[in-house]
Structures are given as C-alpha cells and as structure tokens.
Amino acid sequence: MCIGGSRAAPPEDCGGSWDYMGQVDHHRFEPPLEELQLIAKVLKRFTKAKDHEKKVRDLIGAPDILREALDRVKEYTEFRPNHFDRRKINQRLRLYGEGNEEWMWE
C-alpha cells in the first residue's frame, strides 16, 4: 500500500527523462498567454453582442484558430507534473497483488 509520494512520474511515451524535463520547463515558463488572450477576445465579443446583431460565425472569427487555442489551453491545464495520485497507485498495486494483468494498462 502506498501512503504518500510527490510529483508525477514521466509517462512512458515522453521520450526519456531529459525530454520530460524539457516538457516540464516548457510548461512552467511558456504558458499559453496568446491563446488565452484570443479566447478572452472571443468571449468579450459574445458578451457585448446583442442577440440579433451578428451571427455566431462572425463573433468567433476563424474557428480553426480558436479550436487550436482551446486545445493548447486544455493541453496546458491537463499537464500536471506535480500531481501524485496515491489512489490510482493503490488501485494498480491491488490489481498486481491479485495477479490481474490489468494493472499494466491502467
């Protein structure tokens, strides 16, 4: 049973420890500020527009660019290198102890 820990382990597909540390530095020092500004501008247009003034497409602008910005912000918020999930580890340890091979795929 795991009773504590700190920080997340690098994922299997991160390219090794040096690449993972590069990802952590990128996350720490390069937040998606431009993307957040774009999202804020679109939201501001929505809040200031009257219902009958403009079509949604006009308020959004370029939907592909907005989608990329939203994806970048989502990716940024989901990357949590300081997160340690003790419950998930204990669940996998329990499966391992039971001889259940699902522990490898969680």
State how far the Cα of 4 lies from the Cα of 89, in Å rounded to an integer: 10
- Please check whether residue 47 is in contact with residue 60, taking contact to mean a CB–CB distance below 8 angstroms: no
Cα–Cα distance for residue pair 39/76, rounded to 1 Å = 14
Give residue-wise pLDDT tens across range 11-33: 778 888 899 889 889 888 999 99
Tell me the two tokens of residue 39.
């999202």
SS3 7: coil
End-to-end CA distance of the chain: 17
Q: What is the pLDDT of residue 34?
A: 94
**What pLDDT shows up at residue 105?**
67
How do residues 29-88 score in pLDDT, each as one tens digit?
A: 999 999 999 999 888 887 777 665 566 667 777 878 889 999 999 999 988 888 888 888
